[in-house]
Amino acid sequence: MSLITLFAFTVAYAIAVIVPGPGVAAVVARALGGGFWSAVPMVLGILAGDLIYLAFALFGLAAIAAWFGPVFIVVKWAGALYLLYIAWLFWTAKPGQEQVAARRESGWRTFVAGFALTLSNPKTIIFYLALLPTLIPLDQPLTVLGVTELVVIVSVVLMVIGLAYAGLAAAARDFFRSSTALRRLNRTASAIMATAAVLVAARE
């Protein structure tokens, strides 16, 4: 693909990722409540979902995505319920000095939560199935190099921005050491995570 096409896609995608949404809220809440590394599986799950939608768009699978609508509804509610569960864990956590360290939660479950967030996020669906065709000439034959370039761009941009959000949230967490501050921090993370769950469940 031409450099202009790749540049336009990179800029548009970076803007889409930076704009706060359920995914950003979940990553920030996870990092606030459990530290930087606990948020990494969430970012990886979001990336996996993005790459699936990229494949849908690139290979003309928008019809399949629409056909699987009922499945995506189930995924949406499962993801929302899991986020509420994590919010409850943060809200009920008993603060102590050990709370400063990253909480040990299943990396796989966190990954699945991020994956479910992406599959049910209208912003992601609109970008890949509506906006991407205006940025990438999908009417032309796709090459292995072209697909690879897009996969690399999506992976790098999302990981950099997602981990930056997680890093900033985790750094803010490290400023707090008292039990009172940690309790407030955990409950802030809980509120953000619960908000993300509501956003996921409410969107059609």
- At 176 the three-state DSSP class reads coil
**pLDDT of 33-83, one tens digit each?**
788 898 999 999 999 999 998 888 787 654 555 565 565 566 567 666 766
Structural domain spans, the chain: 3-8+24-202
Q: Are 27 and 96 in contact (CB under 8 A)?
A: no
Q: Which pLDDT score, from 0 to 100, does residue 90 have? A: 66
Binned at pLDDT 50, 70 and 90, residue 149 comes out as very high
Mean pLDDT of 107-112: 88
Would you state the pLDDT for residue 181?
64
Higher pLDDT, 59 or 118: 118
Q: Which long-range contacts (CB under 8 A, 24 or more apart) does 140-149 make?
A: 142/58, 142/59, 145/1, 146/1, 147/58, 149/1, 149/6
Instruction: Give this prediction's pTM.
Output: 0.69
In angstroms, the CA 34 to CA 11 distance is: 31
Quote the tokens at residue 55: 């494949």
pLDDT, position 101: 42
Residue-wise pLDDT tens digits, 86-101: 677 767 766 544 344 4
Positive or negative, the Cα torsion across 160, 27, 203, 49?
positive
Average pLDDT, the chain: 76
Between 26 and 180, residue with greater pLDDT: 26
- Determine the pLDDT at residue 202: 67
